[in-house]
Amino acid sequence: MTKKEQRIRKIKKGRFWGGFAVLLVVTVIECVILGLTLQMAWDLVLKENFTNEYERINTIANCYENGISDAEMERILGDEKRIYFVKDQKGKLLHATGEDTMSDEWGEIVLDTFLEINEEAINEIKNVGDKVQVEADIHRTDGDASGLDLDLDIDDDLYNVRSRFMRIHTDREIPVFRSRNGGVEFDFPALAKWVSDVRFFEDEEYYRGNKILELPFWIECELGEGILYGKGFYKMRYADMAMMVGLLAVIGALLAITFLILIFSMISVIRRQRKANAVFFMDEVTGGRNWVWFLLKVGQFLRKRRNDRYNFAIADLVFVNYRNFCMCHSVAEGEELLTKLDVTIRRLLNRRKEACAHYASDHFALLLHYETQEELKKRLEELITTLEQIDKEHNFSFHLGVNPLPAKLENGRTVRRKKIDIDEQYNNASTACMTLTDTEGSAIAYFDEKLIEEQKWLDRVQEAQKGALENEEFLVYYQPKYNPVTGQLTGAEALIRWESPKYGFLSPGRFIPIFEKNGFITEIDHYMIRHVARDQKRWIDAGMNCVPVSVNVSRAHFIEHDLADQIRDMVDAEGAPHNLIELELTESAFFDDKKAIIHTIGKLKEYGFAVSMDDFGSGYSSLNSLKDMPLDVLKLDAEFFRGENAGERGEIVVKEAIRLAKALHMKTVAEGIEAREQVDFLAEQGCDMIQGYIFAHPMPGDKYEMAMKNGTPLEGDETQK
């Protein structure tokens, strides 16, 4: 996952879990406080009652062991009528007062007590087995201490008097109560059940005017010769019970309210979160998904399907006519169209593994899932066809840059999908799309690594161009043109070269197309015209036989209405005669604003410059342009003399083109001539000039000076640049 993705996820999560966590903590704290309160209340009401009863039965046990009679016992116990009986270890009844109502089910409460025997008592102990009456404090672990007379059997381990334990037993099922770590603890569910059985006990008494309930239970006390079972009563006042029930109800209600608040807040947090997410991931223009969503979703898909044998591709879809449409209609209508596109694209995708989002302006980002390249291609073509028909009144076109995500690394290892940087991959798709900028109509371009190299080169060239011009790194090379019959030098073409200290010697193919796109070509053309004029002037001054030199003028230049004046001023500034400068326009330039071109050509001719049509026959030749443009020279494109074009049919076309040029009073130059037979054929057809490697390669100025002096092609021309 990229850092960006992590950041987005954090924002998304943080909003939800932050609020929820605070709420949860508050709820837990509240529950703990309520729980503690409840326990304190239980302890207060129940614990004391149990321990009191235990002490009473324990006293009876001590009395019994000391041989105190029933009558005496009654005296000790006051009006309490305690029922108890004694059984020996085998269960034989030894003594009984009242009825045995014990059931076989036993519960247990362990009340940890220990005896602290004072030193005086210890001194009275003589032998093991002595019966000694000592006064001892019973310390209960709940901190309550009460004095009690006890008879103790002294056993081996005097100081380790065992904990006593009490067993309680009622006629009903009794819960198991245990105490741990010295404290008295109640088994709440069992105790609650016991208390809920209240209705079975009928003994009701009044205690200080309060109606009380008595719940009977049995307590077991170990004696030396057996076990004494005494009946205890858990006395509960109705008032206490009402308080307990009230307290329980309040606590229950509080807990329920807290719980409800928690649930409601969770629901509302989730709802708010959903709304916030919807806004966070919504594209404000289309109302669909935005780029942030795309980043997250695509990341999720790729991680989830990291072992999927199918492939993924990221695409950049450009709605070519968007800006124009907005200009002619309105931005609102344009955005409506974008929304329609967004909906249509999403309908055509499989939402479980593909995604689409509006990136910005006229761009959409797509993630596509596919098995074979052919299948992907077919789907994309269908997608474009569907989008083209989105509006019946307009002919819309779309450019699609597709970047199939790499499955293997250069070293042959499989790419880990979760590591893929989506931003970078989308950028690659956009790079592929950019190659379609000049393409008319809809088109699809696929990304490959070469494009990155090209892009890098483009960047470097753009970075270096200004400095290169200032440092005069651009050189003017001259390629002579010769008469095919006489072999005499009749002209030359100035061709640029870049001697870059950083990138070496570069031919125009490496940088001219870049300059044409970024507009720097205008500066270059000016630079060339100035240098050629300067050279011509220098050569004239040196008394050389100068011939016209043609300079390429970019199509981009022709939109400038004062181009002819600019050229005239530049040439004049260098002091060169106009008739020694010819301007070459590429054929495609003639399809631009015709009126403006005719105007510029007219002016150039008026100033005495010759104008030629370069690369005639290379593209969309328009004989019509020949008719309308008052041109001086027609340069037949090298393609006429290459490959299939070079055959018999090609010769017919060349022958007719030359004838046509002548009829229109234009001179002809054949470009790219490399073979003797071609020269002979062209000579026969009356072609005026030959520009080709057969005679000369483009050469630096000093060498061209030699060619000028020579007048005919130089022997062994090695200038292969």
Q: Considering the rule CB under 6 A, would residue 283 count as an interface residue with ligand C2E? A: no
Separation in Å, CA 63 to CA 70, 72, 73, 74:
9, 9, 7, 11
Cβ pair 612, 550 in contact under 8 A: yes
613 binds ligand C2E (CB under 6 A): no
Give the separation between CA 379 and CA 512, rounded to whole angstroms: 37
Closest to Mg ion by CB, 397 vs 625, is 625
Region of 75 (left: φ > 0; alpha: ψ -120 to 50; beta: rest) is: alpha
Give min distance, CB of 551 to ligand C2E, in A: 7
Binding mask 553-592 for ligand C2E (x = CB under 6 A): -x--------------------------------------
Of the candidates 237, 236, 219, the one whose C-alpha atom is nearest the C-alpha of residue 228 is: 219
Name, in order, each residue with C-beta under 8 angstroms of 630's C-beta and a sequence gap of 6 or more: 598, 601, 602, 605, 611
Distance between CA atoms of residues 45 and 41, nearest Å: 6
182, 508, 701, 711: residue in contact with ligand C2E (rule CB under 6 A): 508
Return the residue of 473, 525, 535, 632 that touches ligand C2E, per CB under 6 A.
525
Give the number of other Cβ atoms within 10 Å of residue 552's Cβ: 22
436 binds, among ligand C2E, Mg ion, none (CB under 5 to 8 A by kind): none
- Can you give the C-alpha Rg of the chain in angstroms? 54
689 in contact with ligand C2E (CB under 6 A): no
Residue 504 interacts with ligand C2E (CB under 6 A): yes or no: no
Question: Could you tell me the two tokens for 238?
Answer: 């109705």
Position of tokens 């004989």?
Answer: 623
- Which residues make Cβ contacts (< 8 Å) with residue 184, sequence separation at least 6? 43, 47, 50, 51, 109, 111, 112, 140, 141, 142
614 binding Mg ion? (CB under 5 A): yes
The answer to whether 463 and 500 have CB atoms below 8 angstroms apart is no
Q: Contacts with ligand C2E in 624-683 (CB under 6 A)?
A: 638, 671-674
Is residue 446 within 8 A of residue 402, CB to CB? The reply is: yes
Task: Confirm or reject binding of residue 479 to ligand C2E (CB under 6 A).
Answer: yes
CB 474 → ligand C2E: shortest distance, Å? 8
Check residue 582 for interaction with Mg ion (CB under 5 A): no
Q: Residue 674: which of 694, 660, 696 has the closest Cα?
A: 694
How many residues contact ligand C2E, by CB under 6 A? Answer: 24
Q: How far is the CB of 584 from ligand C2E (least distance, A)?
A: 6
The site string for Mg ion over 539-578 (x = CB under 5 A, - otherwise) reads: -------------x--------------------------
Among 614, 625, 633, 669, the residue binding ligand C2E under the rule CB under 6 A is 614
CA 367 – CA 308 distance, rounded (Å): 15
The residue among 280, 283, 250, 362 whose CA lies nearest residue 317 is: 362
Q: Looking at beta carbons only, is 354 or 614 nearer to Mg ion?
A: 614
- If contact means CB under 5 to 8 A according to the sort of partner, which of ligand C2E, Mg ion, none does residue 444 touch? none
Interface stretch with ligand C2E, choices 129-137, 251-259, 397-405, 508-516 (CB under 6 A): 508-516
Q: Considering only residues 65, 240, 535, 615, which one is a binding residue for ligand C2E as defined by CB under 6 A?
A: 615
Is residue 65 close enough to count as binding Mg ion by CB under 5 A? Answer: no
Q: Name the residues that contact Mg ion, by CB under 5 A.
A: 552, 584, 614-615, 671
Q: Binding residues for ligand C2E, per CB under 6 A?
A: 479, 495-496, 507-509, 512, 521, 524-525, 528, 552, 554, 614-615, 638, 671-674, 691-693, 698
